[in-house]
Structure 1
């Protein structure tokens, strides 16, 4: 597969979307909670292609919430495949991926797309690229597991995710309290 025909990659949260409107965003992947209202920020954007997925940022089943599913990650990878295969795109494109805070679902989506478009790149290099794009990245572990399976990475993305979590905890110790508070203690236990 050809690498993404995009020169600028951005990850952000909903509150940061207005600041991106002047940056000529060409493609948007929105990952939102189900039944979230349409985001007014996109009215200020120029012409762009936008795909929206709706599921919650959770890693364990929770009554009344939609758990990320393999099909959601497959849709993300299909989005990337379509982007890479597009004959009309040039290297001046700008891909913006956002979720509510720009930390978990969106970073998992970006890592999935990077792994897809750079199949021979090492997992540690993929996570390094992710941290360059979004230093506070804490990818949703369930989404990374699905991407690992779908891309045939044989557990290597998940293994590197463990190291990434450990690196993030050293860099930003407040992740320990934050992730525990939102029900993501299992990811803290994964950290190496």
Structure 2
């Protein structure tokens, strides 16, 4: 990220957090289900700046579950501002964004941060960078819609998301059924 003091970007799931312990993580964005306990793995990490958000990985209202909101995406953007404002020229940063599986909420958050810090980069280039970081990325479409609006991308981020979903289904055809099973069929339809 050219305007951010972060040189290393990582996206992972909870089960992968222990593997990141020795990688000099300086900033963490945790996105967890509301009822999920704080991951114990962070007790072994060196000192770092961490922000925790809690909502479910859904795109439609489901009784008893919490949808991501524009306020959550605003919190992601504030986190990005904080990282940029903490610039320390003597330290290389390592940003870790995680959710439960490292596939949907965390990739939507990383895409948001990439778009925030690279406002002149094309949306398709942002998705290419996202896939370099996390090849299995399937960003939560509701979060991307909010980011698109908040960042003034005028629908271009959402349009690029549709193309991204199409590429992911071609690469990993099983994603279509998995997303349907998770109640995310609308995202599979977006790929068409």
The normalised TM-score by structure 2 is: 0.97
- 1:16-165 aligned at under 5 Å gives the runs 16-88=16-88, 90=90, 92-165=92-165
**Which moves more between the two structures, 64-73 or 37-46?**
37-46
Contact 1:148/1:156, CA 8 A, preserved across alignment:
yes
- Could you tell me how far 1:147 is from its partner in structure 2? 0.1
> How has the CA–CA distance of structure 1 residues 69 and 89 changed in structure 2, closer, same or farther, with 3 Å as cutoff?
farther
CA contact (8 A) 1:5 1:90 kept: no
C-alpha RMSD of the superposition: 1.1
Q: Relative to structure 1, is the Cα distance of residues 80 and 163 closer, same or farther in structure 2, using a 3 angstrom cutoff?
A: same
Q: Name the SS of the counterpart of 2:21 in structure 1.
A: helix
Residue 35 of structure 1: how far off its partner (Å): 2.0
User: Which consecutive residues of structure 2, in runs of 5 or more, have no partner in the other structure?
Assistant: none
1:90/1:72 CA distance change after superposition, 3 Å: farther
- Alignment partners' CA distance in 2, 1:28 and 1:90: 19
Q: Does the 8 A contact of 2:59 with 2:184 survive in 1?
A: yes
Partners of 1:170 and 1:91 lie apart in 2 by: 40
Q: Contact conserved, 1:76 with 1:113, CA < 8 A, in 2?
A: yes
3-state SS of the aligned residue for 2:58?
Answer: coil
Provide structure 1 residue ranges, at least 5 long, that are not aligned to the other structure: none
* Aligned equivalents of 2:162, 2:3: Cα separation in 1: 26
Structure-1-length-normalised TM-score: 0.97
Question: Structure 2 CA distance, aligned partners of 1:173 and 1:103?
Answer: 15
Separation (CA, whole Å) in 2 of partners of 1:90 and 1:168:
38
